Amino acid sequence: MRKVILASVIILLFSFSARSQNGNEMANNKEKQSYESDKPSTEKDKSKYEVVKSDKEWSQILTPVQFQVLREKGTEYPFTGKYYLNKEKGVYVCAACGNELFSSDSKFDSGCGWPSFYKPIGDDNVGELEDTTHGMVRTEIVCSKCGSHLGHVFTDGPKPTGLRYCINSVALDFKKKEKK
């Protein structure tokens, strides 16, 4: 009798686990669909950006991780990006199209695990979109030239702006300042 009860409990646990995982998958897919609707894939959105490519073209240009972050609005793990601890002088550009985004002069150590900047290199170099995924309301930062996802901006940065542009390293390339 004990074996039957134990077997029943195990079957119930697996049943609930499978339902929970399936429910999470459905929720994640629903969330992903609503977030991906911001991607510049419709004809209307294509006029929004100077550089427009299909997902197939982007996947041939970008690494799989870059594609996941830049085109599918993913994120890299904190404290793992190649530019997180970079202290060299230069300019950070969009890894997808080369648009200049941030100067090393505005980079600071926020302790958040991603490269952080208090202002973009120019007001028109990045765009902002509302991001309501993951149960939060945030401001997503995109490249104004190609629409690629870069990261998010928060209002807990240093003076003079009080902003913290939290950017994925894989979304960036770095052009080192040449010494004179």
Query: In the chain, where are the structural domains located?
Result: 1-37, 43-176
Q: Stretch 126-151: mean pLDDT, rounded?
A: 96
CA dist 124 and 142 (Å) reads 11
CA dist 40 and 167 (Å) reads 20
Least confident span in 5-9, 16-20, 74-78:
16-20
- Assigned token pair, 45: 């959105």
CA dist 106 and 158 (Å) reads 10
CA dist 67 and 171 (Å) reads 9
pLDDT in tens, 40-86: 443 445 568 999 999 999 999 999 999 999 999 999 999 999 999 99
Position 115 pLDDT exceeds 60: yes
Q: Is 93 exposed, middle or buried (0-12, 13-18, 19+ CB in 10 A)?
A: buried
Contact call for residues 41 and 79 (beta carbons, < 8 A): no
C-alpha closest to that of 58 among 168, 169, 143: 143
DSSP string covering 23-58: HHHHHHHHHHHHHHTTSS-SHHHHTT-SS---HHHH
Confidence of residue 168 (pLDDT cuts 50, 70, 90): very high
Place of tokens 């209307």: 44
Tell me how long the chain is.
180
Q: What is the pTM assigned to this prediction?
A: 0.74
pLDDT at 11: 52
Position 126 pLDDT exceeds 90: yes
The CATH code of domain 43-176 reads 2.170.150.20
pLDDT at 179: 75
What average pLDDT does the structure give for the chain? 81
Residues tagged active-site: 166
